[in-house]
Structure 1
Amino acid sequence: MSALDPLPVATAPPKERVAYLDNARYWVMLLVVIGHSLTEYVVMDSAKGVYTWIYLFHMPFFILISGYTARHYIGDFRQIRRIVSTLIVPYLLVETSLQLLTRHYDGEPKTLMILSPQWLGWFLAALFLWRITTPIWRALKYPITTSIVISLLAGLIEIPNVLALPKVLALLPFWVIGLHMNRELFMKLGDWRIRAASVVALVVAFIFCQLYSADWTTQWLLWKDRYDEAPLDATAWEGMTTRGELLLVGAVLTFATLSLIPRSRSITTVLGGRTFYCYLLHGYIIILLDRELDLWQRFEEYGAWAVIGFMVAAVVVANLLMTKPVATVFRPLFEPRLTWLFREAEPPSVRVPVDALPAVDGSSPTTGGRERASGGSSSQTSVPAS
């Protein structure tokens, strides 16, 4: 093949929308937006309990689903092109604009640090690094154990925030677990006994957070600080023990939530296919409402009522940002086609029939394939999509 020949497309199966996964994305996106809306109130006991409960598992949940949807990544033409258009380009746009916005209001950062994500961009950077290393995690003999060891040891050393590397390594086990999940495991989570236990686990965790989180350091839940630096101020053993406990709790609550996610199609399925835009845009709304209107400061005196109000507002905003008009307007910006950048690819020689793929929602392979093909528009995009 000469340098000017069209690039081949490998035989990785084309991705079809699955109701269960889009439902999962919808609910976890609500948690993301609610969690970010409570950040300014985390010093209040009425908000800290909810904030802590959400942060115990919302990113582990998101990352595990992302890993599962990326398990077929092999670096073919289609996948590389998608990485550029839905991860690299949005990362550069969002990170640059948010840093310029915060510098305008707060004076920080004084110089742009595009490779050092300050807020939302970290997850896009993490998805990029996790995805391109996926073949390694698929090839290792003990991938989950190896990822846990890396996570525990990462907090012992100083790691620069290049492409959010401290968080990438700390949260790595959830990505690797997702890569090694299969449809049968997801189906087993729907057993009524597991669902009953899941409700208990989530309720107990919520009550525990309400009762005891006032004395906890929430910085542990950001997964980015070295153990022995402020505000963690932990010994090596304390740091690894605490992170190990967070990994375990995050995994338990993630699987508990996954067991309760509906399998059938609904409005949340449609909205869940557009979480990509909600994730990228909600940060701008929070910054503008805070800096321009000083909204959180104005309502702080109302205590718990303010917390409830902002949670309700977060749900409303999240749903609006997952609507079709928002996707239509921002798709050219956040998902550019980039036909001018990529060479033409050869047609794939082998395709895996959609009907050959088993359904997550319990329908037959043939029926499930047709439903997924017709149910989820290819224009719908979610953050964890591969």
Structure 2
Amino acid sequence: MEKTLPKQGETYFLNLRFLLILTVCIANAIEPLIARMGGLHALYSWIYTFHIPLFVLVTGYFSKGGLDGPDGRKTLLQIGMQYIIFQSLYSFLDITLFRVPNIRHSFFAPYLLLWFLVSHMGWRLMMLGMRRLPPAGRFAVAAALGIMVGYLPLDGAWLSISRTFVYLPFYVIGYHFSFDAFMRFFTLKKRFVAAAASALLLIVIALTGLAPPPGWLYGSMTYMQMGHPEWYAGVYRLAVYGLQIGSAAAFLGWVPFRQGRLTDLGRRTLYVFLLHGLIIRLAAASGLYGFILHPAAAVPVVAGAALLAFALAQPAVKKAAHPVVEPPVTWILRLERMAFGKP
């Protein structure tokens, strides 16, 4: 198993990771406006064709060599602590300050973006369970599970079960991703073509409105919940996989290979991910979106979301929020050793 990542591969995926968190901030910031502004709806739909699959792929890539052993256990514990802390924090603020309707407050129902933490634990555990399978076998099993989970007669949001299985194939791809092979294939000409294809997809969605319903792009609902009880509903999921893979591959054309400012920012995307929702929720609760009545007024919203991503990725934010965003778990491991009489 590969224990270290190629330096250039690490740089590329850190650059990608920040660009993705940038799109996450923008998508979440414009979501309250997409029902009444077609251009923002197109931008939102375009972002959702690639950003979750690529984020999962990047997460799988950075999991190389760190799934099992002490490092793997420590990572699982830390993700679990992050979930407990932020699920409690978001739920508390929602009840006392944000007062967002129709949200279930339960540790079994991840609060909005916190589904990713629950699913991340699931992806790591399932990869360990498939360790005896070759890479192709892991991908085949993951894709089959991603399609079959839609047929389950349950709420797909429960413990993020739907998204965990739907996006498992992208985690497997990321884990086995060969950056050397990618470098040989993704020549400069192909990068330009990919970037152009990504821009073209946005234009097509904006002009035609052709994009899967949000439920298919979120991956959080079963087929029944999306109004598709047909026995062949899994074929739709397969088609969405095709769109997501194509859109994700095209977006890679925008990502620089060189180390730079984006690389440094990409090391602190966890802080952007866990903290930006608090600010966007606060903006929504303040009634700010009620004053945005014209598409031109939405431009500052997009710009503000981008600035928010840059601001939350600064070293000062990490220094201030580190105990909450990356809670120490050594004390849990110490208690565990004491309980089992280990030195």
TM-score by length of 2: 0.88
Q: Which residue of 2 aligns with 1:305?
A: 296
Q: Deviations over 1:163-217 (max 9, x none)?
A: 2111111111111111221122331353123213202320221111102227852
Q: How far is the alpha carbon of 1:344 from its aligned partner?
A: 9.9
| 1:179 matches 2:172 | no
State the alpha-carbon separation in 1 of the partners of residues 325 and 160 from structure 2: 20
Aligned residue type for 2:204: F
The Cα offsets for residues 307-356 of structure 1, whole Å up to 9 and x where unpaired, read as 3221111000100000000000011122123332223999xxxxxxxxxx
Give distance in 2, aligned partners of 1:14 and 1:343.
27
Letter in 2 for 1:276: L
Q: Does residue 148 of structure 1 match 2:143? A: yes
| Contact kept in structure 1, 2:45 and 2:211, CA below 8 Å | no
* 1:31 aligned to which of 2, 14, 23: 23
Task: Decide whether the 8 Å contact of 1:116 with 1:163 is kept in 2.
Answer: yes
The offset of 1:223, in angstroms, is: 0.8
Q: Indicate if the aligned counterparts of 2:4 and 2:65 stay in contact, CA closer than 8 A.
A: no
The one of 83, 91, 94 equivalent to 1:91 is 83
Q: For 2:215 and 2:290, how far apart are their aligned partners in 1?
A: 22
2:52 is the alignment partner of 1:62:
no
Equivalent pairs counted in the alignment come to 330
Give the secondary structure class of the aligned counterpart of 1:188.
helix
2:325 to 334, 350, 353: 334
Quick one: distance in 2 between partners of 1:343 and 1:129?
24
Deviates more, 1:209-218 or 1:317-326: 209-218
Query: In structure 2, how many angstroms separate the alpha carbons of the residues matched to 1:256 and 1:188?
Result: 16
CA distance in 2, matches of 1:197, 1:313: 30
Q: 1:278 — aligned with what?
A: 272
Compared CA separation, residues 31 and 89, structure 1 to 2 (3 A) = same
- Bigger shift: residues 306-315 or 138-147: 138-147
Structure 1 residue 46, shift from structure 2 partner: 1.8
* 2:193–2:253 Cα contact (<8 Å) kept: no
**Partner Cα distance (1:109, 1:37) in 2:** 19
Identity score, percent: 23
Distance 1:338 1:45, change over 3 A: same
Change (3 A) 1:262 1:151: same
AA of the residue aligned to 1:236: E
Deviates more, 1:196-205 or 1:40-49: 196-205
Which residue of the partner structure matches residue 158 of structure 1?
153
Q: CA deviation at 1:16?
A: 8.5
Task: Map 1:111-260; keep pairs closer than 5 Å.
Answer: 112-141=105-134, 142-160=137-155, 161-213=157-209, 217-229=213-225, 232-236=226-230, 239-260=233-254
Point out where structure 1 has 5 or more consecutive residues left out of the alignment: 1-10, 347-386
Which of 47, 64, 82 is matched with 1:71 structurally? 64
The separation in 2 between residues aligned to 1:107 and 1:219, in whole angstroms, is 20
Cα distance 1:185–1:345, how it changes in 2: closer, same or farther (>3 A)? farther
User: How far does residue 95 in structure 1 lie from its aligned partner after superposition?
Assistant: 1.0
**Per the alignment, in what secondary structure is the counterpart of residue 209 of structure 1?**
helix
TM-aligned CA deviation for residue 100 of structure 1: 1.9
Q: Secondary structure at the match of 1:71?
A: coil
Q: Deviations over 1:68-98 (max 9, x none)?
A: 111323421122113212x111111111111
CA shift for structure 1 position 41:
1.2
Match of 2:3?
Answer: 13
Aligned residue for 1:253, secondary structure, equals helix
Q: 1:135: how far off?
A: 2.4
Deviates more, 1:248-257 or 1:110-119: 110-119
CA RMSD of aligned residues (A): 2.5
User: What runs of 5+ residues in structure 2 fail to find an aligned partner?
Assistant: 338-343
Letter in structure 2 aligned against 1:268 = L
Amino acid aligned to 1:34 = I
Shift of 1:137: 3.7
Confirm whether residue 319 of structure 1 aligns to residue 310 of structure 2. Answer: yes
Report the CA distance shift for 1:16/1:327 in structure 2 as closer, same or farther (over 3 A): farther
**SS of residue in 1 equivalent to 2:65:** coil
Distance 1:225 1:337 in 2: 34
Amino acid in structure 2 at the alignment position of 1:133: M
Structure 1 residues 307-386: aligned runs within 5 Å? 307-343=298-334
Q: 1:106: how far off?
A: 2.6
Contact residue 12 and residue 76 of structure 1 kept, 8 A: no
Q: Is the 8 A contact 1:52 1:213 kept in 2?
A: no
Sort the Cα spacing of 1:165 and 1:95 in 2 relative to 1 into closer, same or farther, 3 A. Answer: same
Out of 262, 266, 283, the residue aligned to residue 268 of structure 1 is 262
Q: Greater helix percent: which structure?
A: 2
Whole-Å Cα distance in 2 between the matches of residues 14 and 216 of structure 1?
Answer: 38
| Distance in 2 of aligned mates of 1:216 and 1:68 | 27
Give the conservation status (yes or no) of the 8 Å contact 1:73–1:134.
no
- The structural deviation recorded for 1:148 is 1.4
